Chains A and B, each alone.
Chain A
Amino acid sequence: MSSTEAPGGAAFAAEAPLPRRRRPHTATRLFRGAVPYALILPVLAAVAAILGYPLYRLVRISFEQYGLFELIQRKGIPVGWENYSSVLHDPVFWDTLVRTVIFTIANVALTMVLGTLIALLLVRVSAVVRVLLTSGLVLVWAMPPVVAVQVWLWMTNYENGVLNYALTKLRLGDYFQHDWYATPFSQLALSTTLIVWGAIPFVVLTIYAGLAQVPRELVEAAEVDGARSWRIFKDVTAPILKPILLILTSLAIIWDFGVFTQPFLLIGQSNIQESNYLMGIYLFEEGYSKSDFGRGAAISILMLLIVALLSVFYVRKMLRLGDLR
């Protein structure tokens, strides 16, 4: 039960004295009022120190020339908006932004469509297959991303990777010694397969849990009325799943927009170049690798702003689900 549903109802709530107890002295009441603040203080202090302060430095550095020399001197040279104008006038930034948006849309669309279809399939299959498939999904979910990248590298290896062998054997074309890392498109498409594969289990199991909330009577009534599967999904299931689908989609957008580990390691640092930059990698290369922290800070802030805009919807939705209106 959520205690926030009944105001003041929790046993530990300061404003809920037991009946017949005398009204506590003002000092005691003040003390009790302070308890929750004392409880959240450690986390607040930690977040302020390890995140708040760095973010404050980030804003300051973004207006400074800040390279390795300044890092050692611990003092940047103020340059006003120069970092921002340099980034915003950089065609690489805009190309990267467009590429990242397309990449994100492709990943999110694939994740959500496949995730929904597999969740619907989970409802149809027999109990044994359902347990097997669910276990398989959990196993995939548990794979650490860095490990998954290594497996992908091995499977797509041009010499004797199993992917080229299987595709050729299935007569889908001649993939003998096909190099999947030859073009930016192919590199990013491969990253997409890895990201979607890793994201599907979470999406499927969440949607499947949501499907259990769809009242059976509604589905049966629709079936009796002669509705076909697609109509049942569109008019009965989908509206009930809508909040879950919206949350998952916004989460997927936020994650995929900021993705770093999978494309960075799969493409490999030696192959990373302007033509296959994604936002996170662009930031890493321009800011960290080149030790141009001032410019990197400006890119970070632009990226954080974009993600903040994308997140507003998600945070509001979570608050509503958490009964915190």
Chain B
Amino acid sequence: MTAETQLPPPPLPVETRPPAPPRRRRRRRAGQTLWNLLGLALLVLMAFPVYWMISTAFKPDDDINGFTPTWLPTHPTLDHFREAMSRPFFWDGIKNSVIIVSVTVLVSMVLAFFAAVALAKFRFTGLKLFIVLMIGIQMLPQAGLIIPLYVVLARYGQVNTLTGVTITYMTFVLPFTVWTLRGFLLGIPRELEEAAMVDGSTRVGAFVRILLPLVAPGLVATSIFAFITSWNEYIFARVLLNDQGKQTATVWLSYFYGTSKHTDWGALMAGSTLIAIPVVIFFLIVQRRIAFGLTAGAVRG
């Protein structure tokens, strides 16, 4: 995992700019085409690696290994996907990743939710210190943490176990789930909670019936984000899991290249696509929602 995925994305304002004043309109229109072309060229440049990955995965070997690249997969084949899936330890990697990621997400979400309620709905001495701690932890470079985590986990016999990796993942998943959930909770109008209280509900009753349904989308979005972060993680899994049968999907993929003299690019790209798919799908679902959580609480300059 890179840190880049840790911070929830910002909102995407959809409204367009109003038309320019008449004086400039004509020059704008002429310029507009130019800007549009530049934008499209940029799109091609940025998205090309993703396209190249997917199209290579579907191309037959002859198209891949020629010296002149084939731009379109005109003879699509699923062979490379079959190859990738039948390679040793592919399914082990997927299974291990799923186990590690689900436990990490479940446990962190429960713990983080309580803390987020405290941060969003109470004022108490030490609140600020706690938030500094949560933001500060996210800034720690992961490379700097390999040695201490490896040594401590080795002391307790947790190296080369899925438990050890799961515990490790919580170090960076917890802080940002707390912070993001706090944002979602802050976004709930206070009036709704007060209305429930006046109606005679108990504090817990108000919480369960009013707060929980409102924050459910936020919980889902944050869990998905935690899922993506742990699914993408590489360095701790690489250091802590030596056994091939225990490695995660990303580590499996990282050992693909360079294992033989001639890399099977088609299968490598098919494997890459398979590992990227869940992330991309989930990411597209939550991208906007998570933005709301962050903006509600944090970025309101």
- One digit per residue, 1 when the CB lies within 8 angstroms of any chain B CB and 0 when it does not, for chain A 15-59 equals 100100000000000000101110110111011001101110110
- One digit per residue, 1 when the CB lies within 8 angstroms of any chain B CB and 0 when it does not, for chain A 131-168 equals 01110111111111111111111110101101001000
Contacts of B152 in A (CB 8 A): 53-54, 57
Q: Is B111 an interface residue (CB 8 A)?
A: yes
Which of B117, B119, B149, B234 meets A261, CB within 8 Å? Answer: B234
Give the number of chain B interface residues (Cβ < 8 Å). 128
Q: Is A121 an interface residue (CB 8 A)?
A: yes
Q: Is A231 an interface residue (CB 8 A)?
A: no
Contacts of A101 in B (CB 8 A): none
CB distance from A22 to the nearest CB of B (A): 16
Which of B52, B189, B254 meets A146, CB within 8 Å? Answer: B254
Bound form: Cα–Cα A147–B283 in Å: 15
Asked if B147 and A145 sit within 8 Å, CB to CB, the answer is no
- One digit per residue, 1 when the CB lies within 8 angstroms of any chain A CB and 0 when it does not, for chain B 16-27 equals 111011001000
Q: Is B239 an interface residue (CB 8 A)?
A: yes
CB distance from A309 to the nearest CB of B (A): 11
Which of A132, A165, A307 meets B68, CB within 8 Å? Answer: A165
Identify whether the interface residues of A are mostly helix, strand, loop, or mixed: helix
Which of A209, A283, A321 meets B10, CB within 8 Å? Answer: A209
Asked if B50 and A140 sit within 8 Å, CB to CB, the answer is yes
Q: Say which size band chain A's interface belongs to.
A: 35 or more
CB distance from A1 to the nearest CB of B (A): 6
Q: Is A279 an interface residue (CB 8 A)?
A: yes
Asked if A10 and B144 sit within 8 Å, CB to CB, the answer is no
Closest to B298 in A: A322
Q: Is B272 an interface residue (CB 8 A)?
A: yes
Asked if B151 and A57 sit within 8 Å, CB to CB, the answer is yes
Contacts of B131 in A (CB 8 A): 319, 322, 324
CB distance from B64 to the nearest CB of A (A): 8
Q: Is A284 an interface residue (CB 8 A)?
A: yes
Asked if A50 and B167 sit within 8 Å, CB to CB, the answer is yes
Q: Is A14 an interface residue (CB 8 A)?
A: yes
Could you name 30 residue pairs across A and B whose Cβ atoms are closer than 8 Å? A2-B186, A3-B190, A4-B123, A10-B121, A11-B206, A12-B207, A40-B115, A42-B115, A46-B170, A50-B170, A51-B171, A123-B17, A127-B16, A132-B39, A137-B46, A138-B287, A145-B2, A145-B4, A145-B234, A147-B53, A208-B12, A209-B10, A212-B15, A254-B3, A268-B257, A270-B258, A280-B141, A284-B239, A300-B144, A318-B298
Q: Can you name 17 extra interface pairs (CB under 8 A) apart from A40-B130, A123-B17?
A: A35-B122, A54-B149, A125-B32, A130-B16, A144-B232, A150-B269, A150-B272, A160-B69, A165-B67, A209-B10, A255-B3, A280-B141, A288-B147, A307-B140, A308-B136, A314-B135, A321-B299
